[in-house]
Amino acid sequence: MMTVLGCIAGKHNIWLVIVAAVVCIAGSWVIIRLFDRAASTTGAQRIGWHLLTTVAAGSAIWCTHFIAILAYYPDVPVSFDPVMTIMSLLIAMVGVQLGLVAAASGLTQMAPAVGGGIVGLAIVAMHYSGMMAYRVQGIVSWDRPYLLASIFLSVMFSGLALHFAMRRVSRSDKYVATGVLVLAIVSLHFTGMTAFRVSPMLIDGSFSNPAALQALALAVAGVALTIVGAGLASYLIDNSMRAESYERLRHMAMNDNLTGLPNRASFNDHLDHELRIAEETGGKVALIGIDLDRFKEINDLRGHAAGDEVLKILARRMSNLLGDGEFASRLGGDEFAAVYRMRHQAGLADFLARLEAALFKPIRLDDYEIVPGASLGVALYPDNADSKEALINNADLAMYRAKTDITRAVCFYEQSMDETVRARRTLTSELRQAIENNQLDIHYQVQTSISTGEVCGYEALLRWEHPQHGFIPPSEFIPLAEENGLIQQMGEWVLRTACIRAASWEPPYKVAVNLSPVQFAHTDLPKLVLEILIETGLPADRLELELTESTIFADRERSLHMLRQIKALGVSIALDDFGTGYSSLDTLRSFPFDKIKLDRSFMSEIESSPQAKAIIRAVLALGKSLDIPVLAEGIETQGQLTLLSAEGCDEAQGYLLGRPVPLNQIITSGQISLMSSELLEGTATAVRLEEQAVHSAVRRSL
């Protein structure tokens, strides 16, 4: 080692040595980073990064060697063979590329060390081929031990350098790899130059021009640093683009695309963070579940573009009102959530007031004004829950309570809400059992012609007699069936059972069956109706299907297409609950309904309210102009019936005319008798043949 240091001090231009060191260190730093980028990519990107690494590495290593050679003074004239000099550069680039590709291949655990060894051999081959291009006027000899030592040091340190570069155990590995690669280059050069011996033989008596050699060395250094700088610039640009892409992807992953608010994933992370702080500090966290009240109505009446604009405006309002410790996010659809780090109760009240004001403030879109409104449910941690899941569940319970309470928009969680939910779950389970065990029944309510008093038909109404709780109203168990996926099975049973029973009636009255919006949206209804008609033998003109206009709004084009298919079978279609909700003339214009059913809510005021009477008169006039019969529901007094008769209403239904009762009571009263089995079978066979013929014709027309 002392001999090497003596060689550096005694036979080298120290300033050029420093320049070579700068090139070597800068080049090694860039080489390791470019190699790391090449090893972490695939496909065409890996090839590109390998090529860039090769150019930077070959240039840095070769230029370090060349500058150091120019710094060496052998005390005799020197020159360079141009062909061998260029060959040494090519050897460096090709050898380094082979080594780097092998190191990054991942074929074995030893691949980095093996590839590094190849890089070390490439440095050796470059150095000694460069020395072959180094022409001196004297006899050249080599010290074999130093020569072998230089090869060993180059291969060993290069293998270690790429081993550390690929290890990636800690952030310092890249710096260690850079330092070891510098050692590989420096140890080879100076140990190799120590092995180099020159015995001067002056032939022409001239000497090299040190100033010219120094200028050449500086020029080579400038080129080397330019190439290395270009590699560094590529790395930094790619690093910046990666950081920007990562941030962009992170924003997309953590924020809602439409509104820009944090999304469900971001909400979960934030809530976890707040709960952790509350647990460590003994604080409290308020979770507010938010659900817009009239968003579906906005979408249905104004279109999805208007709905999206409403969501964006509300999100912007909520973002603008947030302060320290306050957070709002969109979980999906019209569902939002807010988190408040509790300081005091008054602060929470102020936050809720600001949220409520933002959600209820009117929104002006084009020429109309929308008041979105919302239901807010609040649950506190740890007062109302001891885990995140329980907190979210309790906030949802409070929000649903607020949705059903028209007197307040904000509802705080109470223990009794859990009892309500458990009761609903129990009832749902019992409803499922009732369907499976055939415990449901159908009651029938008569529909009567007002002008003649004759029976027109019967509406089939589903009923559930609970073994313990008695009669469960449809308004309670039908929503449960819709929420829990039971409505399709239940609706099909009602339709099939009503058709089977009606097929045996004498006289052959019509039977009307209600369709649930869920059933209508998820069932291949025309096919089901046809199959049931063929199976039961009920003539198609004796079946009437009732649906509300809100059922059609979910997918208007598909709904109207389905209704046309059903009507083509000969089945009647009635528009139920007309006058409420989404009633529009456009629906009546788009589809020729066979009947309009006037909602019962108008009947209670018909005798005392001029407005109610005017509305009924308008609907009846509309029905006559469109040649669509109108049936009034909810008739409970003779006065109501008399008024409807005077206004020209076609049919009526209500407690005055008959309550919903089981079929056997109607049979006992003599209003309906049942056909004999032989007559019923003959009629059913004829009907099945007719229905099949109709089905074939309909299918051909469609």
Q: What is the pLDDT of residues 119-152, one digit of tens each?
A: 889 888 888 888 887 777 677 778 888 889 989 9
- In this predicted model, what pLDDT tens digit does every residue of 492-533 receive, in sequence order? 999 999 999 999 999 999 999 998 877 776 668 899 999 999
- What the block records as the tokens of 670 is 């003599």
**Which position has the token pair 């966290």?**
285
Predicted confidence at residue 445, as pLDDT, reads 95
Question: Stretch 641-652: mean pLDDT, rounded?
Answer: 92
Distance CA 394, CA 391 (A): 5
What percent of the chain shows pLDDT beyond 90?
Answer: 28
pLDDT band for 661, please (50, 70, 90 cuts): very high
- DSSP E strands: which ranges in 299-413? 326-332, 335-342, 363-365, 368-370, 374-381, 410-412
Q: Please say if the pLDDT value at position 172 is more than 60.
A: yes
Q: What is the mean pLDDT of the chain?
A: 82
Distance CA 379, CA 286 (A): 6
Question: Stretch 543-560: mean pLDDT, rounded?
Answer: 79
pLDDT band for 267, please (50, 70, 90 cuts): very high
Question: Stretch 316-343: mean pLDDT, rounded?
Answer: 92
pTM of structure? 0.52
**CB within 8 A of 480, min separation 6: which ones?**
424, 427, 428, 431, 486
Q: Please say if the pLDDT value at position 207 is more than 80.
A: no
Higher pLDDT, 202 or 50: 50
Helices 14-39 and 144-167 sit at what angle, rounded to 10 degrees?
40
Question: Stretch 18-40: mean pLDDT, rounded?
Answer: 81
Please state which of the ranges 44-58, 313-327, 346-360 shows the lowest mean pLDDT: 44-58
Name the nearest CA neighbour of 298 among 309, 285, 283, 284: 309
Domains of the chain: 2-245 (no CATH), 264-413 (3.30.70.270), 437-608+665-701 (3.20.20.450)
Please report how many Cα atoms fall inside a 13 Å half-sphere around the Cα of residue 7, on the Cβ side: 20
Predicted confidence at residue 6, as pLDDT, reads 36
- What the block records as the tokens of 428 is 């749902």
Predicted confidence at residue 345, as pLDDT, reads 81
Distance CA 352, CA 336 (A): 14
- Ramachandran sector of residue 97 (left: φ over 0; alpha: ψ -120 to 50; beta: rest): alpha
Q: Please say if the pLDDT value at position 576 is more than 80.
A: yes
Predicted confidence at residue 159, as pLDDT, reads 86
DSSP annotation of 582 reads T
pLDDT band for 428, please (50, 70, 90 cuts): confident
Predicted confidence at residue 81, as pLDDT, reads 77
Q: Give the chain's end-to-end CA distance (angstroms, integer).
A: 96
Q: Please say if the pLDDT value at position 274 is more than 60.
A: yes
Predicted confidence at residue 225, as pLDDT, reads 67
